[in-house]
A and B are shown apart, each in its own frame.
Chain A
Amino acid sequence: MRYRGLPAILLLSAALVLSLIISVMIGPTSIMLSSIFVDATAYQIIFDIRLPRVIAAVLVGAALATAGSAMQALFKNPMADPYIIGTSAGGSLGAVASIVFLAGTGLHVFAFTGAVGATFLVYTIARRGGKIPVETLLLTGVALSMFLSAMLSFLMYGSGKSLQQIVFWLMGGFWTVSWNDVHVALLIPAGCLVIYLFARDINIISLGDEDAVHLGVNVEQLKVLLLFVSSVLAGIAVAIAGAIGFIGLITPHLMRIIVGPDHRVLIPAAILAGGLILLWADTFARTFGNEMPVGIITAFLGAPFFMFLLQRRIHA
């Protein structure tokens, strides 16, 4: 039922607000919130460095979790993630091209264009007679990702001195985030809202395309919408923080266990949880990890957790 998830949503919301407050105080130097009124440096650290970073982490986490939920429903496969349709490979290629050829100028724009462009290409290739069969979409996404990765490797091979910068960027992180990034990231709540408005349709399409037609869903139109909005969400995430893995895969999974599969509850829960998880991963990275790329932490924690979920699934 709908209210099954309400306690979880309230709890997650409270946790997120609390975490936002705590995480701006933590860092290489811990700062009490009260000190910002007396200490100009403290004010600067909190408002110009930590706050944009913390907000960006929450929004990127929310974007990846929402896009992940949508892709898992669209592909009727709980193993799908937001990058499955070429988003991360395309975004990475765009970013790396900018680093190699333009010394990093317009990196965000290149990354976003690469991510959305790759999805559009996958969509165009997989489309047949006004329809996109999900299997074809999936395979095309995998194939194009491999192709783009090959191009990426080629660029890295010839990149010389900028290789370290590339590798660092590819691992994903928030250390360069400024208020400008947050302004771009404000598109994320809008995208999440659009997906949420289609939550009931997403429930139905997760049963199967034919079933969804029988129940009055304009399936092909919904697919285009989900692909477009998800790729924009994932594209913004990649542009801001690089291709951070596992958040988009694990979060919907975890929330499905807690609140059930109804996307009207699952999507809000995933938005909150995605933000929360990435916020703490990044806080850990900048506080204890010596600015270790946050992608390492999410993968390091995410992969074993994922295997644990798989085990549970097999035993159930």
Chain B
Amino acid sequence: MAKKQTALQVFLLIVLFLSIGMAMMLGRYTISFEKLYHAIWVRLFHPELAVNSVEYSVIFQLRLPRILLAALSGMALSVSGAVLQGIFRNPLVGPSMIGVSSGAAFGAVSAIFMALSGIAVMACSFVGGLLSLLFTMSIAGKVGSKNILAIILGGIVTGALFSALVSLVTFVADPRDTLPVIVYWLMGSFNGADASKVLLLGAVCLVCFSIIFKSRYVINLLALGDEEAYALGVDVVKLRILFLALTTLVTAATVSVSGTIGWVGLVVPHIARMITGSDYRSLVVTSGLIGGIYLVVADTLVRISPFGEVPIGILSALVGAPVLAYLLHTRKVSNA
């Protein structure tokens, strides 16, 4: 069984690399496999030859940061969604359900409104995400409350509040200046990807994924319910705080670099669960890989779209909502 899961994960990893390779070739400026291969060879072994190469610039300055950002965001949102669905014992929970996405969006929108840019937007988004988590928890009563429903309801209230604040900022934003930036950012896009964003999200993902990967087995026990888990010796409160903090961190980091991209964190873990089963030892990894593939492919479709560049948040919702509806219709969500 374990060998089967490992084989599946290796297969998904290969698919992820292939989709990244394809994404590097596709776009308004199509690059052949030979040219891609040559550019990578130059980059690795003779970087001094690459200064005036168009392909080199397109691949490494425009496409690669964007593709890596899409892959990391897909992984981050999917892993967060899978973890949250486990610790809240609810297959319909995603990062947006605990209010973190809205809080992070409010932080970033406020920064854009104040004409801040770059790292300041990311920092504000982080702070917004963390604030929303604290707000959710204070509504729920106390962190690690035995009443999971209270946390989810707290998240819905927080999400609604921060969404209203986002609307307020949008309403008062200058329509000639900051409003278009805010609106475009809210729809979610990897358009503004650069190396610093990749490094930020990559660093946050590396730290958080390492801890989640090490502790992924205990999510199986948390998914049994608080009393069951406690009786088996699990420190429910501490571990729930740990997982909430980690998922908040990766979600806020993702929102800060790419805007709000919905549905990924909700739908991808379901697809992963259908393929790999409910054991979090494999589910966490599989969700991350499928999430990475999902957003790399979606972002490539967005880039080559004949209708111009549609924000990826829109495409993600257009694909995610029917997929979830199909899963619910076939009852695979509850039976997985």
Chains A and B are bound partners: no
Give B contacts to A, CB under 8 Å.
none
